[in-house]
Amino acid sequence: MTNQMKALSKLHPREGLWMVDAPVPEVGPDDVLIKINKTGICGTDIHIWNWDDWAAATVPVPMITGHEFAGEIVELGRNVTDLEIGQRCSGEGHLIGKTSRQSRAGKFHLDPATRGIGVNEQGAFAQYLRLPAFNVVPLPDDIPDEIGAILDPLGNAVHTALSFDLIGEDVLITGAGPIGIMAAAVARHVGARHVVITDVNPDRLALAQQVTDVVAVNVAQEDLGKIVSDLGMKQGFDIGLEMSGNQQALDQMVEAMTMGGRIAMLGIPPGKSPVDWSRIVFKAITIKGVYGREIFETWYKMIAMLQNGLDVSRVITHQFPVDRYAEGFAEMKSGRSGKVVLDWT
Ligand code: NAD
Ligand code: ZN
């Protein structure tokens, strides 16, 4: 193996990403080296590409970006005994500390010292990725690399959707981005009654209906209240999954919830946003913030569901060889795509 690799790097503090030659990372005693086969482009990568205020304040330059990946293990650190060379894998991109109260209680996803690959540490848009062996998630043979490359955002969807019991419940999802659409598929899979997804982008709503059996509502044109009564729902939604980061969507969700409804919020509003707290109080609504994936319970559940009939494959609308990464980013930025996957092989 040579000690140089191709990687997509944030080389300069301005718009864009650049294909560079970088050293293959050296593995420490508790790490593995993963040869990357496929990667997914995330909204986070678009922020980094655009070099918006968040990216400029968060990401040191140069930085190899990317955190959604599937590949295979090619090297083991000397303390790693429970994994094998050749093992296909994906992995958790949040690198956690082990000393906080939360980590010591086994709630790894709540560790305040979490660092992200492709954001704070060199990432997965490269031919090789160094990852702590702890973070590796082996891929069963029946899960292909392109699905392995989107387990990170599917994990966001699963973590959010499984925040509350959905069996027999009426579920409202605001935002038909890739994660909202996958959450709709999960809600269906686990036995929700009505699953309604909203957006203002017709392409995204059409994609939602291709991926799963969902009622898609364009709230720029249609009245959500009318659709609710057409469905025969007597009260509001039992469960809300906020996946747009849009203030109006959250507002509409609170309005559409039933008394005692529960909301899981994954969407990240761009700044402080005003909320009518009195409605939340009078409706006795529970709101749960959701960050990342539960390490590793979300991974376990999503792989089990994928092996048991959950199908999110159609959310991948584009695949490109990595040399055409600029086209992949353009598709993502168009707002029309689902997940875009880059092939590094
Ligand atoms: P996305 O931007 O692709 O999708 C958001 C969708 O919301 C878009 O299709 C947009 O048209 C739609 N939208 C805009 N206004 C709306 C409105 N008024 N009503 C309904 N829909 C509206 O994002 P994504 O990649 O699917 O991610 C979903 C959200 O989750 C984003 O806000 C993202 O930042 C956030 N996120 C959070 C975490 C976390 O750990 N908390 C992780 C990943 C993503
Ligand atoms: Zn991501």
Cα–Cα distance, 75 to 221 (Å, whole number) = 54
> 153 CA distance to ligand 2 centroid (A)?
5
Phi, psi (degrees; rounded to nearest 5) at 106: 85, 5
**Mean pLDDT rounded to a whole number for the chain:** 97
CB 130 within 8 A of CB 31: yes
- CB neighbour list of residue 61: distance below 8 Å, 6 or more residues apart: 10, 11, 12, 13
Query: What per-residue confidence (pLDDT) applies to 271?
Result: 85
Helix, strand, coil percentages in the chain from 3-state DSSP, rounded to 5: 30, 30, 40
> 167 CA distance to ligand 2 centroid (A)?
27
- Name the helix (H) or strand (E) containing 260: strand 257-265
- The pLDDT-based confidence of 274 (bands split at 50, 70, 90) is confident
> In the predicted model, what is the mean pLDDT of residues 183-211?
98
Q: Is 12 a catalytic residue?
A: no
Query: What per-residue confidence (pLDDT) applies to 2?
Result: 74
**Interval 5-37: pLDDT, tens:** 999 999 999 999 999 999 999 999 999 999 999
- The pLDDT-based confidence of 136 (bands split at 50, 70, 90) is very high
Protein residues with CB under 6 Å of any ligand 1 atom:
43, 156, 174-180, 198-201, 204, 219, 243-246, 248-249, 266-268, 290-292
Work out which ligand 1 atom sits closest to the CA atom of 266: 41
Output the six-digit token pair for 223: 């009245």
In the chain, how many H helices and how many E strands? 12, 18
The DSSP code for 335 is T
CB 31 within 8 A of CB 133: yes
**Interval 81-90: pLDDT, tens:** 999 999 999 9
The DSSP code for 135 is G
Nearest bound ligand to the CA of residue 182: 1
b/e for 156-184, b at 16 or more Cβ within 10 A? bbbbbbbbbebeebbbbbbbbbbbbbbbb
Phi, psi (degrees; rounded to nearest 5) at 227: -65, -35
Cα–Cα distance, 312 to 337 (Å, whole number) = 14
Query: What per-residue confidence (pLDDT) applies to 1?
Result: 62
Cα–Cα distance, 71 to 8 (Å, whole number) = 16
Cα–Cα distance, 80 to 253 (Å, whole number) = 47
Phi, psi (degrees; rounded to nearest 5) at 40: -100, 145
Query: What per-residue confidence (pLDDT) applies to 273?
Result: 84
Query: What per-residue confidence (pLDDT) applies to 226?
Result: 96
Asked whether the whole model's pTM tops 0.85, one would answer yes
- CB neighbour list of residue 307: distance below 8 Å, 6 or more residues apart: 140, 142, 143
Give the three-state DSSP class for 196.
strand
Asked, as a colleague might, if the bond just before 321 is cis with ω within 30 of 0, I would say no
Work out which ligand 1 atom sits closest to the CA atom of 201: 11
Q: What is the DSSP code string of 82-149?
A: S--TT-EEEE--EE--SSSHHHHTT-GGG-TT-EEBTTTB--SSBSEEEEEGGGEEEPPTTS-HHHHT
> 40 CA distance to ligand 2 centroid (A)?
8
Closest by CA to 187, choosing from 215, 222, 210, is 215
The upper half-sphere exposure of residue 132, i.e. CA atoms within 13 Å in the direction of its Cβ, equals 13
Cα–Cα distance, 37 to 18 (Å, whole number) = 19
- Packing angle, helices 297-307 and 151-161, rounded to 10: 100
Nearest bound ligand to the CA of residue 41: 2
Among 2, 12, 39, 47, which one carries the catalytic annotation?
47
- CB neighbour list of residue 309: distance below 8 Å, 6 or more residues apart: 189
**Interval 108-134: pLDDT, tens:** 999 999 999 999 999 999 999 999 999
